[in-house]
């Protein structure tokens, strides 16, 4: 994403397309970091889903061969039986999103300006500035937000769990 000699801009330039400053433009800096974070997490999500699909007993697939095509198999067998994998991917993505501080700090430092600041980087900046009480309060708020989001999500996925 380097503006002059980065791979993305070199490819865009060779096609005659504009070459944006991915991390220096306040309008696209956060989206660039989000793209890198998603790219970073796709591998583990793929492995988790592959393991979930492989763990489905072959009997279910044999029964669905009698019923119909791929859509029937996907909708009525694969999606319900990989709910645990889905919950795991969502939970890890959520935790990874909260841990994105290191990626944001390394790529942009929260800038340009405050364009790519997230709650964790704001907490860190407050701590760095000596506002220890404020940064501790921010961490407590972050903990409460995580708790409020995770427990209903866990309850939803547990209520729809299917025994193999």
| pLDDT mean for each 10 residues of the chain (164 residues) | 86 91 89 90 94 89 76 82 88 81 86 84 91 94 88 79 58
Q: What pLDDT is recorded for position 116?
A: 84
Angle at 96 between CA 119 and CA 141, to 5 degrees: 35
Angstrom CA distances, 9 to 25, 37, 115, stand at: 14, 19, 21
Instruction: Show me where the domains of the chain are located.
Output: 7-159
Model pLDDT for residues 27-54, shown as the tens digit of each residue: 998 899 889 988 998 999 999 999 999 9
The model carries a pTM of: 0.73
Q: What pLDDT is recorded for position 163?
A: 60
Superfamily of segment(s) 7-159: MetI-like (1.10.3720.10)
Q: Read out DSSP for the chain? A: --TTT-HHHHHHHHTT-----TTT-TTTHHHHHHHHHHHHHHHHHHHHHHHHHHTS-HHHHHHHHHH-SHHHHIIIIIHHHTHHHHHHHHHHHHHHHHTTHHHHHHHTTT-STTTT--HHHHHHHHHHTT-HHHHHHHHHHHHHHHHHHHHHHHHHHHHT----
């Amino acid at each position: 994403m380097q503006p002059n000699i980065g791979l993305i801009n070199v490819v865009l330039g060779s096609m005659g397309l504009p070459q944006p400053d991915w991390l220096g433009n306040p309008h696209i800096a956060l989206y660039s970091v989000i793209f890198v974070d998603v790219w970073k997490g796709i591998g583990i999500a793929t492995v988790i889903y592959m393991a979930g699909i492989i763990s489905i007993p072959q009997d279910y697939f044999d029964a669905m061969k009698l019923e119909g095509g791929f859509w029937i198999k996907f909708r009525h067998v694969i999606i319900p039986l990989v709910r645990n994998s889905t919950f795991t991917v969502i939970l890890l993505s959520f935790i990874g999103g909260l841990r994105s501080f290191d990626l944001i700090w390394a790529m942009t430092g929260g800038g340009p300006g405050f364009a790519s600041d997230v709650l964790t980087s704001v907490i860190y900046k407050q701590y760095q500035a000596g506002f220890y009480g404020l940064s501790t309060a921010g961490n407590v708020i972050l903990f409460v937000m995580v708790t409020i989001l995770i427990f209903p999500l866990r309850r939803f996925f547990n209520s729809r769990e299917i025994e193999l």
